[in-house]
A and B are shown apart, each in its own frame.
Chain A
Amino acid sequence: MNILTLLVVIPVLTIIAILFTKDLKGARMASAVGMGIQLITTAVLLFMYLGARKTGDMHEMLFTADYTWFKSLNIHYFIGVDGIAVAMLCLTSIVVFAGIFASWEMEYLSREFFISLILLATGVYGFFISLDLFTMFLFYEVAVIPMYLLIGIWGSGPKESSAMKLTLMLMGGSALLMVGIFGIYYNSAPDGGPLTFNILEIAKIQMPVEAQRFFFPFTFVGFGILGALFPFHTWSPDGHASAPTAVSMLHAGVLMKLGGYGCFRVAMFLMPQAAQEMAWIFIILTTISVVYGAFGAIWQKDLKFINAYSSVSHCGLVIFALLMMNQTAMDGAILQMISHGLMTALFFALIGMIYGRTHTRNVTEMGGLMKVIPFLAVVYMIAGFASLGLPGLSGFVAEMTVFVGAFQHTDMFHRVVTVIVASSIVITAVYILRVVGMMLLGPIKDKHHEHLEDAKWFEKLSTVTLVLAVAAIGIAPLWLSDIILSSLKPIVDKLAMVIPF
């Protein structure tokens, strides 16, 4: 079987296995084993990919497979990966693996919980391997819908309304996206011939410019909503605040990356003229996102809100970098997706663990936790340092690549927005250190917190996995960056063929 298909089959088999278990112990065991195998499979895929590239296989996509599954509309199950997709799959596997261990003690309806969680992951894997727009959209929906149940049933606080808000806004995005995808489909053969959803085929032709102008905003905003594009980001704070730990991790860590990934793989790759023309609008919006999200985070008291706003800021940087449309900046965008995915998952995992002990997420009610739960506190600081872009951790690599790339533009507009965006590194430092100072350092504020128990083994496993990934990218970024850079070439070439307005 194709190794990519295996990536979808393993989660499905895991779900079936969970159906046969009886209780929490069985369900979590099945999930852990399944996702452990998935992690290994992804690692194998990575090495196979590197090996294939080394032997000189220069096809744009590797490990392709193609099956027709709806003939009359020419819909295929067409899969294949380039370096970017491989990197995103690695990210997904790591976050899902860590997420399973972060919800090790999910007592309430545990089987159903793990099934929904893995169903969500299945959608994500399918999305990243798809090269057919329709199949991609299908998997996208598979990933988004379980979210409603996960937040609505296992969430906290005003969970029903948060789940509703999140789902409706994302569904709104899907609706726009569907219009965009069908628009691309009906313009996929301007010179006659069969219409197609195949991304690689469509990339070879040039869509009529009028059609691009019309459908680009639908597609871009549709994906942008999931990528927390300002002003469509407000589902994020509420959704994250109510979601259970593993769901926040998966959602912010992986699902939001679907947005950024779709933005360049579909919207920009297939409609380059429109992308060049309209980039400035979205550059302004994302510049606002970056700074606004960071300032918004300073004033928050709820840990999850802080992280949600921080995500708005960091994900804004992803789309900002994509719109810079040169190889370096787009490389930075992908690195930022991976880096943000890992560190935000780490943050949400830690927030869940801290909440489980202190029963509050309000930073003003905590203090001096470093003394009582040193392991979690130190990891939280590492996550914070990654978030504020400390060298040696992944955030720095991603941010610097974005800034250097964005600064390669010669005109003043791009430079000024780059400087504005770069200033977010200071604001980020402010809100990260504020939380660290209030919550972890200083004297212990609440007497009940004096005898908290530090991390258990599964919590350590979950967080250490993520920390290792963050540090690996931060210390030796070259291999990852090179994989991404070479895969970006066709996309950047296509964008560059268009003369900028």
Chain B
Amino acid sequence: MTGYTYTVFIILIPLVMFLVTGLLGMKWRPIVSGLLGTIGMGTSWALSLMTAGSYFFGGAHHAEGFQSIIPFELTWLRFTETLIIKMGILLDPISVMMLVVITTISFMVHLYSLGYMHGEKGFQRFYAFLSLFTFSMLGLVIATNIFQMYIFWELVGVSSFLLIGFYYQKPSAVSASKKAFIVTRFADLGFLIGILILSFVTGTFDFAKLTEPGTAIFGSAASMSFMGISAMTWAMTLIFIGGAGKSAMFPLHIWLPDAMEGPTPVSALIHAATMVVAGVFLVARMFPVIHFQAPAAQEIIGYVGGFTSLFAAVIAITQYDIKRVLAFSTLSQLGYMMLALGVSGYGGEEGLGYMASMFHLFTHAMFKALLFLGAGSIIHAVHSNYMYDMGGLRKYLPITHITFLIACLTIAGVPFLSGFFSKDEILVAALHHNKILFAVEFIVAGLTAFYMFRLYFSVFWGKDRHYHHTPHESPLVMTIPLMFLAVASIFAGYIPFHHLVTSDKIGFATEMNYMVAVPSVLIGLFGIAMAWILYKKESDVPAKLAKSWGILYTATYNKFYWDEIYLFVTRKIIFNYISRPIAWFDRHIIDGFMVGIGLVTEKVSYQIKGMQSGQLQHYAFMFVAGTLALALSMIYFLM
């Protein structure tokens, strides 16, 4: 199949835009870089939609499911005869879906940023980094082999680092970017070791060979184990750690809330819609391997996902920074997706969880990007991130208000909006496989509705604050993306995912499970109602409630002190108790020893230098005495 060669341009355009705006951008007027980037991204978006259209509704569909197509591939580096890193493009349902997600959100963010970042210093740099990020993220999803994925995985990490630290003169942004990079890097170490084990066992990096059902390459794996756990379980768990780092699963979640230091469009693109789902995508990509070769790892994935979603939803209730509320909400939703993969089977209806996870990934990208861009619009208007600086904004920001409300309703799972469909599928999948996780997710559904509407009511209702100037609606270039994403959030649920993106690439039929749908809608509405009662009109009830929870509230507000724990480990243990002693040991013991050798040599030669006095009598005396001593000893020993 060579019909898809043009897909190369989807990824090349952002790369070229990065190089061009990165190297030449500062010589132009800022807006040129912005427009160039936006137009380039628009082209990529159009090409992606074209690819998706022809892939899903064109020639790739066969009775035995969707084909995997590799329109382009070249050898990048050769390790051994079989272990070869290639750079290529793999088109299959999940990668084509991701192309659409990434380019859509990226284009919207490019457009939105023309308004949001207007007049910022480093406007060109911002667009250059956005292009770099988009390039890396696209490279990640179309990877034909796991090493290519790892390469782009790292590039995604660094573009995230650069964008979080965009305001590089702000110490908090610098430390947030550093934290994000190091935490994900630590997770990537797991990913890397996982790749090493996997490639050693199977002798290949290629996804095509790894994920082929019923493949024989795992033949030798059964005999290998370490500490009583099979090699494949190790490999898959370690690879999942990599995914958990990027998708900010507990306990590697700590970098994501801090990452909100970046400009808000970046949060929408990277830390809500695209990069953070890379971990989910990774697990989905490796799904057949995980499911068949390492069921224990799949269990772990399910529970980690479930716990993260609950943990984050609880914290989200107590936060006041709107971006942090949204960040914890993202964590919670990512937990949903992971959990769905954790409880999924393979093939047909068994694979419901897989399909639901990808479905939710898609709808979540739309409504969460909308929420973040909406938050950006609010922040743009009131110049603050904090909910207590906001109130009554619905009159000033009508478009933002309506679109934000749509997004809130979508995430709360109100019927006929996209979030309802995808969340419902996850709950059904969970109910079939694991009742505990189902219960957790059911509660989280209520919590989600509550914290989102707590946010919504406090921002748009209640009393006006003392604004520096009257808040005004954002320009059209910012509201158009909002309106587009609002429409997408409403209608994305009607895409027939169960025919398009499934675990074995073969479609299956689903129907509404009212046993799950009705209660989940009710608990969502209950959450909304609670928020309405507590936050619609400003009162001191929430504060009193918070007080009555006492220490539990404080702990939640402080995110259960995970940041402090990490700080303790890094600052105290690694810096003070490992690094510092090593530095001291090196300077004083090892170097001291080397210097000691020098000193000893010096002292000894000082002591014996008297022998070389230069006086002839002295030498003569030594000569005679030596001869005598030799002669005497010879007489003594030989006689």
Q: How far is the CA of A412 from the CA of B234 in the complex (A)?
A: 15
- What is the 8 Å Cβ interface bit string for chain A, positions 429-454, against chain B (1 contact, 0 not)? 11001100100111100000000000
Contact, CB under 8 Å: A408 / B80: yes
Residues of B within 8 A of A164 (CB): 598
Contact, CB under 8 Å: A295 / B578: yes
- Say how far A375's CB is from chain B's closest CB, in angstroms: 11
Contact, CB under 8 Å: A429 / B182: yes
- What is the 8 Å Cβ interface bit string for chain A, positions 144-165, against chain B (1 contact, 0 not)? 0000000000000000000011
User: Is B538 in the interface zone, CB < 8 Å from A?
Assistant: no
Contact, CB under 8 Å: B154 / A405: no
Residues of B within 8 A of A292 (CB): 582, 586
Residues of B within 8 A of A408 (CB): 80, 200
Interface hit among B289-297, B387-395, B433-441, B588-596: B588-596
User: Is A403 in the interface zone, CB < 8 Å from B?
Assistant: yes
Residues of B within 8 A of A401 (CB): 77, 79
Contact, CB under 8 Å: B196 / A426: no
Kindly identify, within residues 121 to 164 of chain B, every residue whose CB is under 8 Å from any CB belonging to chain A.
147, 151-152, 154-155, 158
Interface hit among A22-30, A56-64, A390-398: A390-398
User: Is B199 in the interface zone, CB < 8 Å from A?
Assistant: yes
- Say how far B125's CB is from chain A's closest CB, in angstroms: 10
Known contacts A408-B200, A477-B77; A169 and B594 CB within 8 A of each other: yes
Q: Which of B78, B147, B175, B226 contacts A481 (CB 8 A)?
A: B78
Known contacts A300-B583, A385-B158; A407 and B189 CB within 8 A of each other: no
Contact, CB under 8 Å: B75 / A442: no
User: Is B488 in the interface zone, CB < 8 Å from A?
Assistant: no
Contact, CB under 8 Å: B583 / A299: yes
Contact, CB under 8 Å: B158 / A478: no
Q: How far is the CA of A481 from the CA of B85 in the complex (A)?
A: 12
Kindly identify, within residues 583 to 608 of chain B, every residue whose CB is under 8 Å from any CB belonging to chain A.
583, 586, 590-591, 593-595, 598
User: Is B76 in the interface zone, CB < 8 Å from A?
Assistant: yes
Interface hit among B33-41, B65-73, B165-173, B547-555: B165-173
- What is the 8 Å Cβ interface bit string for chain B, positions 180-207, against chain A (1 contact, 0 not)? 0110011011001100110110000000
Contact, CB under 8 Å: A404 / B196: yes
Q: How far is the CA of A134 from the CA of B193 in the complex (A)?
A: 43
Contact, CB under 8 Å: B77 / A442: no
Q: How far is the CA of A484 from the CA of B189 in the complex (A)?
A: 27
Residues of B within 8 A of A168 (CB): 598
Known contacts A296-B583, A370-B168; A425 and B79 CB within 8 A of each other: no
Known contacts A165-B595, A425-B192, A441-B168; A433 and B578 CB within 8 A of each other: no
Contact, CB under 8 Å: A165 / B182: no
- Say how far A441's CB is from chain B's closest CB, in angstroms: 4
User: Is A418 in the interface zone, CB < 8 Å from B?
Assistant: yes
Contact, CB under 8 Å: A296 / B155: no
Contact, CB under 8 Å: A429 / B79: no
Contact, CB under 8 Å: A328 / B79: yes
Contact, CB under 8 Å: B200 / A423: no
Residue of B whose beta carbon sits closest to that of A238: B591
- Say how far B374's CB is from chain A's closest CB, in angstroms: 30
Contact, CB under 8 Å: B591 / A391: no
- Say how far A464's CB is from chain B's closest CB, in angstroms: 12
Q: Which of A295, A433, A478, A485 contacts B181 (CB 8 A)?
A: A433
Chain A interface size range = 35 or more
Contact, CB under 8 Å: A433 / B178: yes
SS of B interface (majority): helix
SS of A interface (majority): helix
Known contacts A231-B590, A401-B79, A404-B199; A430 and B182 CB within 8 A of each other: yes
Contact, CB under 8 Å: A478 / B77: yes
Q: How far is the CA of A232 from the CA of B574 in the complex (A)?
A: 25
Q: How far is the CA of A292 from the CA of B186 in the complex (A)?
A: 18
Total interface residues in chain B, CB < 8 Å: 48
- Say how far B570's CB is from chain A's closest CB, in angstroms: 8
Contact, CB under 8 Å: B591 / A234: yes
Residues of B within 8 A of A201 (CB): none
User: Is B560 in the interface zone, CB < 8 Å from A?
Assistant: no
Contact, CB under 8 Å: A425 / B185: yes
Q: Which of A232, A238, A390, A419 contacts B155 (CB 8 A)?
A: A390
Q: How far is the CA of A403 from the CA of B196 in the complex (A)?
A: 8
Q: Which of A309, A388, A389, A485 contacts B78 (CB 8 A)?
A: A485
Q: How far is the CA of A429 from the CA of B178 in the complex (A)?
A: 9
Of the listed residues A234, A292, A391, A419, the one surrounded by the most CB atoms of chain B closer than 10 A to its CB is A391
User: Is B371 in the interface zone, CB < 8 Å from A?
Assistant: no
Contact, CB under 8 Å: A437 / B75: no
- Say how far B192's CB is from chain A's closest CB, in angstroms: 6
Residue of A whose beta carbon sits closest to that of B186: A426
Residue of A whose beta carbon sits closest to that of B576: A299
User: Is B83 in the interface zone, CB < 8 Å from A?
Assistant: yes
- Say how far A405's CB is from chain B's closest CB, in angstroms: 7
- Say how far B576's CB is from chain A's closest CB, in angstroms: 9
Contact, CB under 8 Å: A423 / B590: no
Q: How far is the CA of A390 from the CA of B165 in the complex (A)?
A: 17
Kindly identify, within residues 407 to 430 of chain A, every residue whose CB is under 8 Å from any CB belonging to chain B.
407-408, 412, 418-419, 422-423, 425-426, 429-430
User: Is B575 in the interface zone, CB < 8 Å from A?
Assistant: yes
Contact, CB under 8 Å: A404 / B83: yes
Q: How far is the CA of A168 from the CA of B575 in the complex (A)?
A: 33
Residue of B whose beta carbon sits closest to that of A329: B79
Contact, CB under 8 Å: B76 / A477: yes
Contact, CB under 8 Å: A429 / B586: no
Kindly identify, within residues 292 to 351 of chain B, every residue whose CB is under 8 Å from any CB belonging to chain A.
none
Of the listed residues A412, A418, A442, A443, the one surrounded by the most CB atoms of chain B closer than 10 A to its CB is A442
Q: How far is the CA of A437 from the CA of B598 in the complex (A)?
A: 39
Residue of A whose beta carbon sits closest to that of B77: A477
Residues of B within 8 A of A423 (CB): 189
Q: How far is the CA of A385 from the CA of B75 in the complex (A)?
A: 24
User: Is A265 in the interface zone, CB < 8 Å from B?
Assistant: no
User: Is A327 in the interface zone, CB < 8 Å from B?
Assistant: yes
- Say how far B451's CB is from chain A's closest CB, in angstroms: 33
Known contacts A392-B155, A396-B154, A478-B76; A429 and B200 CB within 8 A of each other: no
Q: Which of B151, B170, B185 contacts A396 (CB 8 A)?
A: B151
User: Is A482 in the interface zone, CB < 8 Å from B?
Assistant: yes
User: Is A222 in the interface zone, CB < 8 Å from B?
Assistant: no
Known contacts A299-B575, A426-B182; A481 and B77 CB within 8 A of each other: yes
User: Is B558 in the interface zone, CB < 8 Å from A?
Assistant: no
- Say how far B95's CB is from chain A's closest CB, in angstroms: 19
Residue of B whose beta carbon sits closest to that of A291: B582
Contact, CB under 8 Å: B193 / A299: no
Q: How far is the CA of A280 from the CA of B460 in the complex (A)?
A: 68
Contact, CB under 8 Å: B595 / A442: no
Residue of B whose beta carbon sits closest to that of A300: B583
Q: Which of A232, A299, A389 contacts B579 (CB 8 A)?
A: A299
Q: How far is the CA of A433 from the CA of B580 in the complex (A)?
A: 18
- Say how far A342's CB is from chain B's closest CB, in angstroms: 18
Contact, CB under 8 Å: B582 / A296: yes
Residues of B within 8 A of A442 (CB): 168-171, 174
Contact, CB under 8 Å: B181 / A234: no
Q: Would you give 18 A-B contacts (Cβ < 8 Å), ordered by A?
A: A164-B598, A168-B598, A231-B590, A232-B594, A295-B578, A298-B575, A299-B575, A327-B80, A371-B169, A388-B185, A390-B158, A391-B155, A392-B155, A408-B80, A422-B192, A422-B193, A426-B182, A481-B77
- In the complex, besides A234-B594, A426-B185, 18 extra interface pairs with C-beta distance below 8 angstroms are A165-B598, A234-B591, A295-B578, A296-B579, A299-B579, A299-B582, A389-B154, A391-B151, A405-B79, A422-B189, A422-B196, A425-B185, A426-B182, A433-B181, A433-B182, A441-B174, A478-B75, A478-B76
Task: Please list the 3 inter-chain residue pairs (A to B) with the smallest Cβ-Cβ separation, ordered nearest first.
Answer: A299-B583, A234-B591, A391-B151
